[in-house]
A and B are shown apart, each in its own frame.
Chain A
Amino acid sequence: MKVLELNSVETGYGETQVLWGIDLSVEEGKITVLLGSNGAGKTTTLRVITGLLFPWKGSVLFKGEDISRVPTHKRVAMGVVMVPEGRRLWPELTVYENLELGAYTKRAREKFDESLELVYSLFPRLKERKNQLAGTLSGGEQQMLAIGRALMSVPSVLLLDEPSLGLAPKLVAEIMNVIRKLKEEEKLTVLLVEQNVHMSLQIADYGYVIEQGRITLEGSRDELEASDKIKKAYLGM
């Protein structure tokens, strides 16, 4: 089943058009990656999916329902949850309070204990530091908290915007492992936005390449890995 579906989505900021007809879908229980270089329109695509930006043309479907005009906070209640670029934690709230607010919606609050246990088992470091202010965490810990907070919202589809950004290779591998684990053990559906093509293709089932606001390539992981475009432009081969 398609959890998310974008049909010829066009949008932009003010007068400037950024997306020129994006078609993309995310299959249930799969990890889909969206690859592209700086300024290609990856974050903008996620903003349309979360409702931080509305499409000028085209539509966004969630489980078959048109949500193009639904405001962000209501999409979260439906299960569309994003770990935003740059983490966007509340620095003056504690780790625990950040997680607590992650479970703000009624649906999420009912699963609070389960979710918290999952988050602490994935990231034991967060449990140790639960009373620390989020702003005082290291970059890696902040990324863990950002993912943890999103998991507290009980996502039907988890959108991740460059979770590897600014992290040491070892931490990147750890985060990728967690994402893979979430798919395998929690049956989570994931849309992962990355510039780190090598790492993200290792865990991906399906992928898209976006260039200047257009999808220029799509396919299964194996197809993408075999494609000349990916090899030349992103894997440096």
Chain B
Amino acid sequence: MDISLLIISSIYGLFWGAILGFAAVGLTLLWGVMKVVNLAQGEMIILGSYVAVIIFAMVYNPFAGAIVALLLGLFAGFLVYWALLHKLVGKVEKITLKIEMSTLLAMFSLSIALMNFYYFIFGDEPRGFGLWNIGISNIKLGAMTVRTNVLLADVLSIVSIVVVYLFLERTILGKSIRAVMQDAQAASLVGIDPVKIKMLTAVLGIGLTTFSGFMVLLYESAVTPDIAHKYAPLSFVIVVLGGLGSVIGALIGGLIIGLVYGLSKGIVTFYNAKMSDPVALAVVFVILIVILLVKPEGLFGRKR
């Protein structure tokens, strides 16, 4: 086995991991703050991808698509909060199992509706930016060739994560979100309106998820409904790994998953190239199970 090949496939894995990590940020916020498990995670990611594709076809500028994807996602978060979530989690202090099941069901219905909508409008034909890239399509890094679109997606993902992290750590609004996450009633006792904070979290969480669809599209080159089924489970693994509500946990979780995926893929390719993808994915989920058994609160989560 060639060591340098393993190193290269690990690095490719890390490139993917940062994007995966950002795609999971919205999920971890919704889950951590509102205890809402977003079963429409994958569909919301590709909502951003499809929006970017449509806008791109209209103005031939992918960045316009990225901005529209973000804005539409924020608006979708607003709608989802008031249409589905407010009645279930808006005013309650303690999320019971029953409420959790109701939100699960609501988000699951949304995911099915969105998925059918995508098939109806786009079918399973891949859609993308065609041959668009930022000047040159590839960059040589030593022995590796990296697509500039992937580098762009990575830079945007990491910058976005840092911005979200600083927002949560440094601003009063960010601190209020963390306070509501830890004890919503105590938050109301200092004058914070928990409903406002929950709505803001839904807006932010779903907006960021949809925005990540742009990075996913840059990475995957094209979007099909199937992409949702690939990214949603990985997002869940990352959130569990990084700890509910932890943004930095999501980034590190994403990098770990990307690394494990890349490394396993590198090793399996050596024996059987055709099996490399499914085996690498299987390894990722074995890791999830091990984490759930050994450290159920995640690497950066707190014990409950």
Contacts and interface: CB of A to CB of B under 8 A. Distances in A.
Interface size class of A (residues with CB under 8 A): 20 to 34
B192 interface: yes
Nearest to B189: A82
Nearest to A51: B188
Contact of B192 (A93, A97, A101): A101
Contacts of B187: 101
A92 B178 contact: yes
Contact of A73 (B178, B183, B191): B191
A15 to B, nearest CB: 18
B178, B186, B191, B302: which has the most chain A beta carbons within 10 Å? B191
Given A93-B178, A101-B172, A101-B179, A153 B186 contact: no
Given A100-B172, A100-B175, A104-B172, A93 B190 contact: no
B193 interface: yes
Interface in A74-120: 74, 76-77, 81-82, 84, 88-93, 97, 100-105, 108
B190 A88 contact: no
A71 interface: yes
Given A88-B183, A91-B182, A92-B302, A50 B172 contact: no
A93 B193 contact: no
Contacts of A152: 190
B196 to A, nearest CB: 9
B138 interface: no
B185 interface: yes
Given A92-B302, A93-B175, A101 B182 contact: no
A212 interface: no
B160 interface: no
A100 B129 CA distance: 47
Contact of A90 (B178, B193, B194): B178
A88 B175 contact: no
A84 B186 contact: yes
A93 B182 CA distance: 9
B176 interface: yes
Contacts of B186: 84, 88-90
A101 B182 CA distance: 13
Nearest to A146: B186
Contacts of A42: none
Contact of B183 (A72, A90, A104): A90
A235 interface: no
Contact of A88 (B176, B189, B302): B189
A105 B183 contact: no
A149 interface: yes
A72 B186 CA distance: 10
Interface string B281-304: 000000000000000000000100
Interface of B: 172, 175-176, 178-179, 182-183, 185-194, 302
8 contacts: A50-B189, A72-B189, A73-B188, A73-B191, A90-B183, A101-B176, A102-B190, A103-B190
